[in-house]
A and B are shown apart, each in its own frame.
Chain A
Amino acid sequence: MILDRIFDPKIENPYCPNLARITEIFRETDTIKTFKFKFLDKNLQSSFFFLPGQFIQVSVFGMGEIPLTLCSTPFNNDFFQISVRRIGNVTNALFNLKEGDVIGVRGPYGNGYPINQMMYKNVVMVAGGIGFPPVRSLIEYILSRRNYFGNLWLLYGARDPTDIVFRKDLLKWKKEKDFNILITVDRAPQGWKGNVGVVTTLFDKVEIPNENTIGIVCGPPIMMKFVTQELQKLGLRDDQIYLSMERLMQCGIGKCGHCNIGKKYVCKDGPVFSYDELKQLNEKIW
């Protein structure tokens, strides 16, 4: 019996989500939608703060709960956004919701992107498919604090032209100074004038200095593996490369065990890890 801690029935249940209302749904592609939501509790809405790269646990009551990374700017507390690909049971249920419906949100969890490490440095962001949303939050963060960062690159790979998300944002960011945006698609129909090929093919088209540069990678494991190799070829050290790891976190607080990679928990120690950290783990990451 633990005597120094007396049970307090008012203790918060860390698994209970806060209720939030979906205020806007935007259909990005056939399989990806972006949801705007607001907490029902106004105090929570104004005090909720997250860092780019941190995740939340989203509940569709009756279906379950999944981890999703916020994709909106941390500097706007009017609303928060998540971007979701319809792929499993809960995301499918999310797709069936309408504006005004209520979901559950708890968090934010995890470490988020290493902003301190990135300050006064060039940032190369490489995103693949549905790995783009977390990077969008980071871009918005950097653009709001533009003077604190060096040159920016965004290399974005999508399956095909219809799978490109955040089109408005991409157009908006194109106007930014010292921000190089390159997009490629794996497959393209006739008439597509852009790049075709996997995202690593974009590295031939840019010149990125290896000094004072941080690489941010988010996408499927196979893509992260080859992008890491490209960044190493550029001359980036392993501690200059940051990867977002995907696991199905079910608790978010280091208990359920689903996100264990070696001695690390993706939910508590991640989801963003430097490649230097990951390669020292006693477990293969891809």
Chain B
Amino acid sequence: MHFSLLNYSIKKKDLSKLFERLKKEYEIIAPVKNGSDYNFQNIDSTVLDLDDYINTRYPAKEFFLPSPEKIFTFTKNKRLKISSNFETKKRLIFGMRPCDVNGLLVLDKIFIDDYPDPFYKNRRENTVIISLNCNKAGPYCFCQSLGTDTVKDGADLIFTDSKSEYSVEIGSVVGEKIVNKNKDLFKFNSKKIKKPKLKFKKKVDTETVVEDLKNGIDHKIWKKEADRCISCAACTIVCPTCYCYDVQDVNSTDGKEGNRVREWNFCMLYNFTRVAGNMVFRPDRVERLKQFVYHKLSYLKETDNIFLCVGCGRCIQSCIVDIDLTKIVKKLRKK
């Protein structure tokens, strides 16, 4: 970050004015309260209610990796033809928490760095991200231990809540342009931005976790936890960095044309590793639970020196049988 050393501020009541102007260029997505949960939605009214916003129940990954997604169309007339096109809708996502912005950086690594995926890449490049720093840590959060509690990269503007206004840091050229175009709303701010100190109830020891997982592959905790698992895949559905998918052909009723479509799929499901002949490589819950935890906290650390987990805590929040990966990795250290 620190793209620009200049900081700005915007009054909270001016945010709707800003959105009203940006609406002409972008589809605006922000956290909207439904019942007790917040979720990212396309907003019509530009007034936001963020009074008790900790984080959204679902991450914003559906705006980058929608499911289902058409990857090409084929038509079977005299000749077989394949065509594909890419969405170029411009979007602005407001209010992404630092953990989720860091989650996007992880997805960038997978979908852009090696064999670029044009669908993801295109959406990523057409989306402006305004991150909103947290005032308060939720009961399931553990981003601090993974270093994902601050935005160093990946957001165009970074907002910090300070009473009646937001302090604004600039993260990219696009972010700077937005500020410059709306100089009447953004005031120059010479004060140092005060970021609230957050208290976390959960943590992961990142110094030792890879080693602990390596040594703890046969620890009895795995079976104990997996015995409770109901294989619902909620943990993977709500994870901002779970990206696995299935590919299928969906045909028109006359069979003359169809789409190849990808849909999210989840390693926690029995069928995920099934191959022809009904061979399943991870038939037991314990193997699937291990796959999830190791993938989040070990595999990418070994190969790319990053954690796939960003500590948003949604997997813990969504698990109805209270499986908690921070507790699992902690217990691995005890014999």
In the complex the two chains form, is A257's CB within 8 Å of B267's CB?
yes
In the complex the two chains form, is A102's CB within 8 Å of B80's CB?
yes
Stretch of B159-167, B238-246, B326-334 contacting A (4+ beta carbons < 8 Å): B238-246
Closest to A6 in B: B125
Closest to A221 in B: B279
> CB-CB < 8 A to B246: which residues of A?
250, 256, 258
In the complex the two chains form, is A1's CB within 8 Å of B121's CB?
no
> CB-CB < 8 A to B247: which residues of A?
15, 64-65, 250-251, 256
Stretch of B54-62, B269-277, B317-325 contacting A (4+ beta carbons < 8 Å): B269-277
A174 at interface (Cβ–Cβ under 8 A)? no
Stretch of B8-16, B126-134, B187-195 contacting A (4+ beta carbons < 8 Å): B126-134
In the complex the two chains form, is B258's CB within 8 Å of A62's CB?
yes
The CA-CA distance from A66 to B118 in the complex, in Å, is 21
In the complex the two chains form, is B248's CB within 8 Å of A14's CB?
no
In the complex the two chains form, is B277's CB within 8 Å of A255's CB?
no
In the complex the two chains form, is A11's CB within 8 Å of B302's CB?
no
The CA-CA distance from A147 to B170 in the complex, in Å, is 64
Stretch of B40-48, B68-76, B138-146, B197-205 contacting A (4+ beta carbons < 8 Å): B68-76
Q: Which of chain A's residues 1-45 have a Cβ closer than 8 Å to chain B?
A: 1-3, 5-7, 9, 11-17, 19
A247 at interface (Cβ–Cβ under 8 A)? yes
In whole Å, how far is A189's beta carbon from the nearest beta carbon of chain B? Answer: 24
The CA-CA distance from A174 to B274 in the complex, in Å, is 37
The CA-CA distance from A140 to B191 in the complex, in Å, is 73
| Contact digits for B257-283, partner A, Cβ 8 Å, 1 yes 0 no | 010101001010000111111010100
In whole Å, how far is A94's beta carbon from the nearest beta carbon of chain B? Answer: 12
In the complex the two chains form, is B121's CB within 8 Å of A250's CB?
no
In the complex the two chains form, is B243's CB within 8 Å of A255's CB?
yes
In the complex the two chains form, is B245's CB within 8 Å of A255's CB?
yes
The CA-CA distance from A242 to B117 in the complex, in Å, is 31
> CB-CB < 8 A to A16: which residues of B?
71-72, 82, 84
> CB-CB < 8 A to B248: which residues of A?
64
B299 at interface (Cβ–Cβ under 8 A)? yes
The CA-CA distance from A102 to B79 in the complex, in Å, is 9
In whole Å, how far is B65's beta carbon from the nearest beta carbon of chain A? Answer: 10
The CA-CA distance from A263 to B305 in the complex, in Å, is 12
The CA-CA distance from A147 to B275 in the complex, in Å, is 38
The number of chain A residues touching the other chain, given as a range, is 35 or more
> CB-CB < 8 A to A54: which residues of B?
none
In the complex the two chains form, is A263's CB within 8 Å of B124's CB?
no
In the complex the two chains form, is A2's CB within 8 Å of B115's CB?
no
A202 at interface (Cβ–Cβ under 8 A)? no
In the complex the two chains form, is A61's CB within 8 Å of B294's CB?
no
In whole Å, how far is B206's beta carbon from the nearest beta carbon of chain A? Answer: 17
Q: Which of chain A's residues 202-239 have a Cβ closer than 8 Å to chain B?
A: 220-221
B255 at interface (Cβ–Cβ under 8 A)? yes
A97 at interface (Cβ–Cβ under 8 A)? no
The CA-CA distance from A284 to B290 in the complex, in Å, is 11
In the complex the two chains form, is A1's CB within 8 Å of B172's CB?
yes
A248 at interface (Cβ–Cβ under 8 A)? yes
In the complex the two chains form, is A263's CB within 8 Å of B303's CB?
yes
A91 at interface (Cβ–Cβ under 8 A)? yes
In the complex the two chains form, is B172's CB within 8 Å of A3's CB?
yes
> CB-CB < 8 A to B115: which residues of A?
14, 253-255
A62 interface neighbour in B251, B275, B279, Cβ under 8 Å? B251
In the complex the two chains form, is A65's CB within 8 Å of B287's CB?
no
A88 at interface (Cβ–Cβ under 8 A)? yes
A115 at interface (Cβ–Cβ under 8 A)? no
In whole Å, how far is B278's beta carbon from the nearest beta carbon of chain A? Answer: 9
Q: Which of chain A's residues 228-286 have a Cβ closer than 8 Å to chain B?
A: 246-248, 250-251, 253-258, 260-263, 268, 282-284
In whole Å, how far is B181's beta carbon from the nearest beta carbon of chain A? Answer: 16
Known contacts A61-B74, A62-B249; A255 and B117 CB within 8 A of each other: yes
In the complex the two chains form, is B244's CB within 8 Å of A248's CB?
no
In the complex the two chains form, is A262's CB within 8 Å of B299's CB?
yes
B291 interface neighbour in A11, A256, A283, Cβ under 8 Å? A283
B298 at interface (Cβ–Cβ under 8 A)? yes
Closest to A60 in B: B249
A2 interface neighbour in B88, B112, B117, Cβ under 8 Å? B112
Closest to A285 in B: B281
B316 at interface (Cβ–Cβ under 8 A)? no
In the complex the two chains form, is A14's CB within 8 Å of B275's CB?
no
In whole Å, how far is B96's beta carbon from the nearest beta carbon of chain A? Answer: 13
Known contacts A102-B80, A248-B276, A284-B287; A256 and B126 CB within 8 A of each other: no
- Sort A-B residue pairs by CB-CB distance and give the 7 closest, nearest first: A257-B244, A88-B276, A253-B115, A263-B299, A250-B247, A87-B276, A15-B71
A-B contact pairs, 22 of them (CB 8 A): A1-B129, A1-B156, A7-B86, A7-B125, A12-B118, A14-B117, A14-B118, A61-B74, A62-B74, A62-B258, A63-B249, A87-B276, A251-B245, A255-B110, A255-B115, A256-B246, A257-B245, A262-B299, A263-B298, A263-B300, A282-B290, A282-B299
Q: A1-B128, A64-B247, A255-B115 are in contact. List 19 more A-B contacts (CB 8 A).
A: A1-B127, A5-B112, A5-B125, A7-B88, A13-B72, A14-B117, A15-B84, A15-B247, A59-B260, A64-B249, A65-B249, A104-B82, A220-B279, A255-B117, A256-B247, A257-B243, A257-B245, A263-B303, A283-B287
A positions within 8 Å CB-CB of B: 1-3, 5-7, 9, 11-17, 19, 59, 61-66, 85, 87-88, 91, 102, 104, 220-221, 246-248, 250-251, 253-258, 260-263, 268, 282-284
